[in-house]
Structure 1
Amino acid sequence: MRRGIAASALVVALAASMAACGSSGSSSDGKADGPVSITYWDTSNATNEAPNYQELVKKFEAANPNIKVAFESVPFDQAQNKLQTAMGAKGAPDAFRSEVGWTAAFAKAGFLEPLDGTPAAADAAAFQPSLMQQAKYQGKTYGIPLVTDTLGLLYNKALFAKAGITAAPKTWDELKTDAAALKDKAGVDGFWMRAGDGYYAMPFLFGEGTDTVDAAGKKITVTSPEALKAIDTYKSMFTAPGTVKADVTADSYAHMMDAFNAGKVAAIIQGPWEITNIYKGSAFADKTNLGIAAVPGGSAGKSGAPTGGHNISVYAGSDAAHKAAAEKFAAFMTSAESQAFIAQKNSTLPTRADAYTPEVKGDPGIAGFQAVLPSARPRPELPEYSSLFASLGTNLGKIAQDQAAPKDAMDTVATDYAKLLPGFAK
């Protein structure tokens, strides 16, 4: 998982960067001398997704001949640290694609330009309200939702039918029963759970009516009875009949996806960002064979998954001319037309209702995830929230491999959280 942000250090770095950094193509007073050239960092998949964003950039430049965009692909797993470094020194992009969990932290550090009242936020009312809320910090808007996502239960309909399963499981216990039936009757592994990744474990916590922390009450909750019950259920998904043993190798993600795409495992927990790759798999040459359902619920009778996705944000350290160009660019990239284009090309979920055209909804993957979006839970306005996944993931990996008892591991997580959130009670 990505490392958390040390806000105090970032604020100091920002002060230096604001004094040291300038942007090309403009004079010192922020007035453009001619065409403005802005830099945009894209964190989408460089092979499958970025080319389609580059096509949008060309359309933007054609419609705005006085603005040029330098498009740079930055690997997602490196982007947070690269952005943190660049915005705290030199070389920061004027606009960038930011994971929703980074927005509050970067805004707290003073790195992001407020977008309220700018062209970037002109269509704010058109976006899903919860997604706009995730783009805010202390009442101000610091990002425009570009794409959204959540986790769902993805399953192979043909294998389910072969095992005599007629509907997607609604609880984790039902999923374990189905996994055993799939192994016995279809001859494949029934379920593969991603091990050692805190983000993928959140549905277990939500299913027990809890979270890693109570942000509003300023309380650490990973050691609560509800959380420990959730972690016990999580652990059982690696040992129940028909489930795959925990894989914590460096290539574990690829192993899981390869097995699912080839029809060697019948169900996984995954997000829409993998849809285009899944369609390339031999098991899903017929796209309609991909089943998508809400993640199973826990004993509290609740089903819930984290809301993910990406915003476009504007760097506060750019001069006025570059900010204005970047704001116009953000508006174009998040328009209904642009989102519909990207959805059809990348099978990603738009963030505004008017982008769900008949053509977009014709993609079974998009339609399937759109149906489960109501069960997604927005992240709290807590700058450190994304950083909570690191310790959780590390200790979940130990639990999944039976290297640590759940209670002991969660006590360690709580101790780590107390350091990260000094104002929170354990």
Structure 2
Amino acid sequence: MQRRRFLGLSAAGAATAAMAPALTACSGGGPGGKTLTVIAAEYGDGKPENSSQKYWESVARTFMGDHKGVKVEVQVYSWTDVDKKVADLVAAGNAPDIAQIGAYADFAAAGKLISADQLLSVPTQADFITSIAKAGEVHRMQYGLPFVSSTRLLFYNKTLFEKAGILKAPESWAELQAAAVKLKAAQVKIPFGLPLGPEEAPAETMLWMLGNGGGYADKNGNYTIGRAENVEAFEWLRDELVGKELTGPGNPARTNRQELFDAFARGEVGMLHGHPSLMQQAEAKDVKYGMAPLPGRHGKAASTMGVADWVMAFKQTGHKKEVGLFLDFLYSTQTVLDFTGKYDLLPVTSTASEKMMKDDDATPRRKKLIPFLEQLKNAEFYPADKTSWAKVSKTVKEKIGSTVQKGADVQGILDEIQREAESTDGAAR
């Protein structure tokens, strides 16, 4: 899974250097000591002052100051390179102690990872927000440790709403369509932005599935892409939004998320689904925007989509005790908040989330993240525990856009994706 694209934090995944220098300190790791290797992803915007290198450097230095027998070496790679780098090292029998990357399921299925209960103290493991921790489980055992998270909300342009005479954010699909009709009548270029192009089709797809009580998989992990609720959702999109020309001049099947984010920042989009990075982009262009919970078929959706990046620890290094100590420190409340505050992300632990909600001294930007945080407890995640998901996601990118074309056989298309998902899932087991 390419989480950089799902989180959409910036273009830095491609822009940053392939590898930052190893981050070390002079203390620790002497004779008889242990050296931990950590590989992490770059979340910065390409500027040295915003590089994740500084965060990891601080974490490593502080940890080593408290653990004199342990040395920590960290290498930070761009999102373009980091997943492959870790996979190559594992394949060569030279796995890092810890990796902070986009997906864990393949390594867990291959028996390469240490489970959370063997690594973390009980308070640390119990502190993970339940919905996110479950997304890190394979066969009910947690191997993926969530690192950061994000949710989605409905963004709307307040100026365009006022121009169109819309008094409040829509809470249902009927209200969303009615608002889109008014926006179109007010000459808004894109009443509702629908990115079903290859960049983020799986995310937009999941949001509409959830809005009708559907989803990619059931609680037992079985793919349910062709279920009736999902078919109804895309038939509604085909007929009631795209069919009535309420999604702008472009073809949703070839429209990417970033294109619509850019258009929103230019004041050309009335509504779209967005994540926290859109706030900064809109504010940079002085766009007055509002945010609201995800509209559903008959009212507010019961849940929204959550996404997460992952931390994992590999068995072959033989440093389980030291890795556990480092991870306990990594998930301490202030350490979590230092990173999420730097990049407009959500914490994955209950204590950090509570502090963020109640912090009267929080920056205005951090306070703006609270609506996203409030949605996290009910968020649904991609079936990231399935090793087949990467291929299924690719199939969704290729085919889901065709469901909203005029006269499309939605049931047939979703059934086709379902069959391919089941075949891929069977081969992966």
TM bracket (short chain): 0.7 to 0.9
Between the aligned partners of 2:294 and 2:177, the Cα distance in structure 1 is: 13
Query: Does 2:335 correspond to 1:338?
Result: yes
> How many angstroms apart in 2 are the aligned matches of 1:160 and 1:332?
46
* TM-score when normalising by structure 2: 0.78
Contact 1:42 1:50 in 2 (8 A): no
Aligned with residue 246 of structure 1, among 251, 260, 266 = 251
Q: Residues 68 and 213 from structure 1, CA distance in 2 versus in 1: closer, same or farther, beyond 3 angstroms?
A: closer
CA distance in 2, matches of 1:170, 1:341: 34
Shift in Å, 1:229 = 0.8
Work out the CA distance in 1 between the residues paired with 2:345 and 2:226. 35
Q: Percent identity at matched positions?
A: 20
Stretch moving more, 382-391 or 412-421: 382-391
SS class of match (1:309): strand
1:13 counterpart residue number: none
Partner in structure 1 of residue 89 of structure 2:
86
Aligned to 1:123: 124
Q: Deviations over 1:361-392 (max 9, x none)?
A: 74343022123334422456842463332222
C-alpha separation in 1, matches of 2:389 and 2:289: 30
Residue 36 of structure 1 is matched in structure 2 by 35
Shift of 1:154: 1.5
Question: How many angstroms apart in 1 are the aligned matches of 2:50 and 2:329?
Answer: 17
**Aligned residue type for 1:372:** Q
Tell me how large the CA RMSD over aligned residues is. 3.4
Tell me the amino acid that sits aligned with residue 306 of structure 1: M
Counterpart of 1:89 in structure 2: which amino acid?
Answer: A
**What whole-Å deviation, never above 9, does each CA across 1:41-67 have from its counterpart, x for those lacking one?**
215355379935322222223221442
Measure, in 1, the Cα distance between the counterparts of 2:427 and 2:61.
Answer: 50
Would the alpha carbon gap of residues 370 and 130 (structure 1) be closer, same or farther in structure 2, given more than 3 Å must change?
same
> C-alpha deviations, 1:308-365, integer Å up to 9, x for none?
1123211223232xx4444333333322102222232211111223321334474343
1:404 CA displacement: 5.1
2:208 to 186, 193, 204: 204
1:386 and 2:389 matched: yes
Amino acid at match of 2:396: L
2:169 partner letter? A
Query: Which structure 2 residues correspond to residues 340-419 of structure 1 after superposition, within 5 A?
Result: 340-355=337-352, 356=356, 357-360=359-362, 362-363=364-365, 364-378=367-381, 382-384=385-387, 386-387=389-390, 388-401=392-405, 405-419=409-423
Shift of 1:202: 1.0
Residue 114 of structure 2 corresponds to which residue in structure 1?
113
Shift of 1:31: 10
Check 1:186–1:365 CA distance in 2 against 1; reply closer, same or farther (3 A cut): farther
Whole-angstrom CA distance in 2 between matches of 1:61 and 1:67? 8
Tell me the residue number matched to 1:310: 309
Letter in 2 for 1:171: S
- How far off its partner does 1:290 sit? 3.1
Shift of 1:305: 2.3
Q: 1:269 aligns with which of 269, 273, 286?
A: 273
Instruction: Give CA deviations for 1:198-217 in whole Å, capped at 9, x if unaligned.
Output: 2221122222222233352x
Contact 1:180 1:243 in 2 (8 A): no
Question: How far apart in 1 are the matches of 2:233 and 2:246?
Answer: 20
Structure 1 counterpart of 2:308, one-letter code: G
3-state SS in 1 of match to 2:104:
helix
Shift of 1:169: 0.9
- Cα 1:361/1:369, change in 2 over 3 Å: farther
| Cα pair 1:153 1:270 within 8 Å, conserved | yes
- Mapped to 1, the partners of 2:106 and 2:122 lie a distance apart of 20
CA contact (8 A) 2:149 2:348 kept: yes
Is the 1:214–1:220 contact (alpha carbons within 8 Å) kept by the matching residues of 2?
A: yes
Q: How does 1:136-155 map to 2 (within 5 A)?
A: 136-155=137-156
Which residue is equivalent to 2:60? 61
Structure 1 length as normaliser, TM-score?
Answer: 0.78
Q: Tell me the distance in 1 between the aligned counterparts of 2:243 and 2:260.
A: 16
